[in-house]
Structures are given as C-alpha cells and as structure tokens.
C-alpha cells in the first residue's frame, strides 16, 4: 500500500512545479566501467549486483543539474561496493521531456534494469505510462509528486529539502552585504539581491524565499528582485537576466537555473554571487561566495540497497541536512565576510537540530500581515491548494505532507519583475 494516501494528485506544475534543469535533446546511453565485478566477495558474503538505469535531461557537461546527479551516481557506486553491492549503470543523457522519455524507460526496462531513475520533473508522466507494464522493476521520479499517490506499487518520488541550503546561502550573502553596509561601501537600502529564476513554480519560489529569509536574518534592510527566464537551462537568457538585475542596482546575484553565466555576469558587473548545484568559484573567483546542492548519493544508496536486499522502500522520500542530503559547496573565504564560516556552522546546526525553522512566520509578512493560514495540497487539480494546513507551530512547514515543495506565497520584500509558467 502507498505510504501516503493523499486524496488526488495535483497535476499542475504551477503549484508544485519543481526544477528539472537542462536541455531537451535526444539521449545517448552509457554503461560505465569501474564497478566491483559480480561474484566477488566482501566481508565473507557474495556480492550482489543491481542494474540501474538513469535517465537525464542534460549531461555531465552542464556543470549543474545533471552533473550533480552524475556526482551522486559515482559516489554511491563506491559506497555500495564497500558493502558488497555492485551497481551496473546504464545512463541515457539529453533525453527530452516528451515521448523520447517513454522510449528511454522502455529501453532500460527491456535491458534488464532492476531500478530506473528519472531525473527530471517533466519525465514523470512518461515514466508512469511504462511502469504498469514492468511491475517487477522499481521506477523513481525525482522532484515530482504523482508516483507517491498513484495506485502502482513500483513507483516512487524523491526530493530533498534544498530550501535549507538556500537559507544558508542567503546567510552568507546577507553577511557580505551587512559588512559592506558597516564599512560604508553601500547604504542600507542598496542591499538588493537579484535572483535569476527558471519558472514561477513552487520549488523556485520556495527556494528564493528561503534565500531571502536567510539573508534578512543577518542583514535586516535587504530586499530582492526576481527575474524569471522561462527555461531551466539557457545560458544566454540566464546571463542576460543577471546582467539586467545588476544594471537595476542588485549587488548580489543568485539563481535557480543550470548554467554558470549568472556567476560570470555578476563578476563582470562587480557584484557578488551564490550558486546552485555546483561550486562556481572556479568560473567567478572574485564574485562567487558559496553554493548549495542536493547530494543524490544519499537517496540512491537507500533505494539501491533496498532493491539489492529485496526490501521495499518509501514511495515518497524527502530529507535534508538531517541525513546529509543537502550540502553546501566550499565557502570562498577570500571574499566572504569576516566570521562567515562560524556563522554558517552555527545556523547549519540549528537547521539540523530543528531549532530553526526556515519559514518561521514571525520573520516575514504578506501584504503587511503575518501569515496565519495556508493550505499545502491541491486535491482537485484546479491549481489552488485546498487540503492540509501548512502553517502550524509558528511556521510554514514545507515538504511536510509530500516531498515536492508547495510554498507559493509572495512575501513582502521580494519583487517579482515578471512571471513564467
């Protein structure tokens, strides 16, 4: 039985839309070497082999979303080898959010995969067309929500509380801006963040709101401008949006998009930057302060080990810093504000312990008033949340009722320059 029997699935990405970053070219397959040979023994037990298919919207060269999945793939292969589990990977890169995804799932199923991971939000409908025909194979959709509430026993959703990492990156940004204010380099009202967002979807909104609240916790005068580009991965659009935000007076740039162009645009404009999915210090050493990413190896290890042992595993999985599923990239201490590393460690511990709630309703307002009620889930597909109160115990509880984010509140202090659905 499904672990979560939510009434009906919200099909609209507007409310629960999540990031699946990358391009939409057709895919190619890779079967990497380097895994432990099947039949060897570890710790006196015969090694087990699990064949895993991974369908990616981009490839390792995007240095962002798909690159982060490949990093997780490599880490979990090594971790499971130490447990006597060989992972035989077959990877399809540059698959579109279209019928080519359905074909990729069929090909991997026919190739004998025990488990198939779909890494893009838009892959799930095509995956769900295939899963009923292969009940012996486990299918995973990362960053979506339909699989957690359908009637199939072999479909799964997975995500991580990346908003925690966003909050921490915001703290780093806020400390830098407050230091600039204290040093007389800028005035308090010049502490303006520019945020390059892909779409006006819940994951993006949740992310930049968390980032803003992190910055505001250490730089009270901060404000934010958000520019949506209508694409998960378009280097030119992202760079142009970052440049426009700098031209509009933003001195700190961050992003929910795949490419490094916002980082280089910030550096060229004399602004600072925090990244996503990758460490961007190498491309913008004078601007990039830190980044945050999901460590997919944590979930991969959990799911693949369960399959290897013939065990069931959760159909809707979500963790954050508590399980090491959300991590920070290295801090650029050459340009970060004094005391940032210590503050970062302090706040991270508060997040891990639960002492700090990212969406503490006492820390923000909506049209001048504190948020006292907000539904989490849309049970009838009309793009309006109508079920499960998300505000309780003094906070909005993100990803509490499902792994997919549902925070879509427009709070004071953040200006949307446009929208993109």
pLDDT number for residue 26: 38
CA–centroid distance for 246 within its chain: 25
The predicted structure's pLDDT at residue 336: 98
For 11-83, where are the alpha helices, taking DSSP H only?
13-16, 65-81
Specify the pLDDT at position 46: 64
Per CATH, 13-161+295-319 and 162-294+326-416 having the same topology is answered yes
What 3-state DSSP class applies to 376?
strand
Reference 190, options 222, 225, 212; nearest CA is 222
79 class by beta-carbon count within 10 Å (0-12 exposed, 13-18 middle, 19+ buried) = middle
Report pLDDT for 40: 40
**Per-residue pLDDT for the chain (421 aa), expressed as one digit of tens each?**
343 333 333 333 333 333 333 333 334 334 333 333 333 444 456 679 999 999 998 887 777 788 899 999 999 999 999 999 999 999 999 999 999 999 999 999 999 999 999 999 889 999 999 999 999 999 999 988 889 889 899 999 999 999 999 999 999 999 999 999 999 999 999 999 999 999 999 999 999 999 999 999 999 999 999 999 998 888 999 999 999 999 999 999 999 988 889 999 999 999 999 999 888 999 999 999 999 999 999 999 999 999 999 999 999 999 999 999 999 999 999 999 999 999 999 999 999 999 999 999 999 999 999 999 999 998 887 888 999 999 999 999 999 999 999 999 999 999 999 999 8
CA-CA distances (angstroms) from residue 79 to 302, 309, 347? 11, 15, 29
Structure tokens at 209: 């709101």
- Adjacent-strand bridge partners of 158: 142, 317
Work out the end-to-end distance of the chain between its first and last CA atoms, rounded to an integer number of angstroms.
Answer: 34
pLDDT of res. 121: 85
pLDDT of residue 16: 38
Angstrom distance (rounded) from CA 199 to CA 46: 48
Ranges of each domain in the chain: 13-161+295-319, 162-294+326-416
Q: Provide the token pair at 268.
A: 């060229």
**Model pLDDT, residue 24:** 35
3-class DSSP assignment, residue 246: helix
Q: What are phi and psi of 82, to 5 degrees?
A: -70, -20
* Residue found by looking up tokens 């359905």 in the block: 102
Answer yes or no: pTM beyond 0.95: no
Assigned CATH topology for domain 162-294+326-416: Rossmann fold (3.40.50)
Burial group, residue 375, by CB count within 10 angstroms (0-12, 13-18, 19+): middle
Give the SS3 label for residue 106: helix
Tokens of 283: 């491309």
R_g over Cα of the chain: 21
Q: What is the DSSP letter of 324?
A: T
> What angle is formed at CA 74 by the lines to CA 73 and CA 79, rounded to 5 degrees?
95
> What is the spatial distance between Cα 33 and Cα 357, in angstroms, rounded to a whole number?
43
Residue 83 sits at φ, ψ, to 5 deg, of -100, 5
* Domain 13-161+295-319 annotated CATH 3.40.50.2300: yes
Looking only at the bridges linking them, the beta strands covering 48-55 and 85-93 are parallel
The helix (H) or strand (E) run that includes residue 205 is helix 202-216
Quick one: pLDDT at residue 337? 98
């Amino acid at each position: 039985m499904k672990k979560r029997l939510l009434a009906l699935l919200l099909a609209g990405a507007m409310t629960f839309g999540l990031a699946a970053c990358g391009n939409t070219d057709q895919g190619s397959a890779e079967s990497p070497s380097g895994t432990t040979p099947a039949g060897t023994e570890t710790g006196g037990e015969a090694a087990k082999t699990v064949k895993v298919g991974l369908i990616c919207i981009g490839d390792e060269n995007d240095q962002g979303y798909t690159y982060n999945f490949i990093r997780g793939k490599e880490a979990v292969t090594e971790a499971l080898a130490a447990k006597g589990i060989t992972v035989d990977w077959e990877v399809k890169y540059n698959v579109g959010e279209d019928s080519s995804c359905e074909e990729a799932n069929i090909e991997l199923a026919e190739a004998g995969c025990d488990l198939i991971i779909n890494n893009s939000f838009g892959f799930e409908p095509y995956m769900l067309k295939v899963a009923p025909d292969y009940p012996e194979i486990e299918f995973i959709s990362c960053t979506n929500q339909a699989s957690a509430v359908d009637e199939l026993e072999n479909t799964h959703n997975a995500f991580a509380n990346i908003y925690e990492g966003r909050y921490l990156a915001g703290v780093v940004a806020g400390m830098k801006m407050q230091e600039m204010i204290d040093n007389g380099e800028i005035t308090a009202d010049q502490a303006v963040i520019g945020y390059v967002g892909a779409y006006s979807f819940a994951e993006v909104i949740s992310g930049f709101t968390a980032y803003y609240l992190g910055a505001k916790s250490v730089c009270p005068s901060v404000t934010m401008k958000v520019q949506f580009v209508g694409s998960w991965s378009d280097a030119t659009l992202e760079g142009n949006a970052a440049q426009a935000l700098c031209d509009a007076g933003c001195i700190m740039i961050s992003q929910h998009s795949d490419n490094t162009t916002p980082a280089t645009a910030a550096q060229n404009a004399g602004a600072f930057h925090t990244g996503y999915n990758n460490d961007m210090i190498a491309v913008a050493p004078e601007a990039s302060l830190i980044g945050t990413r999901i460590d997919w190896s944590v979930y991969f290890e959990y799911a693949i080990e369960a399959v290897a042992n013939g065990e069931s595993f959760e159909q809707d999985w979500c963790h954050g810093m508590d399980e090491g599923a959300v991590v920070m990239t290295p801090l650029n201490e050459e340009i970060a504000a004094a005391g940032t590393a210590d503050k970062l460690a302090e706040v991270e511990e508060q997040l891990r312990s639960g002492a700090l709630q990212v969406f503490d309703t006492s820390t923000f307002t909506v049209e001048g008033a504190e948020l006292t009620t907000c539904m989490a889930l849309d049970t009838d597909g009309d793009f309006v949340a109508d079920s499960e109160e998300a505000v309780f115990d003094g906070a909005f509880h993100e990803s509490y009722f499902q792994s997919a984010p549902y925070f879509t509140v427009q709070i004071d202090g953040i200006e949307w320059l446009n929208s993109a659905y």
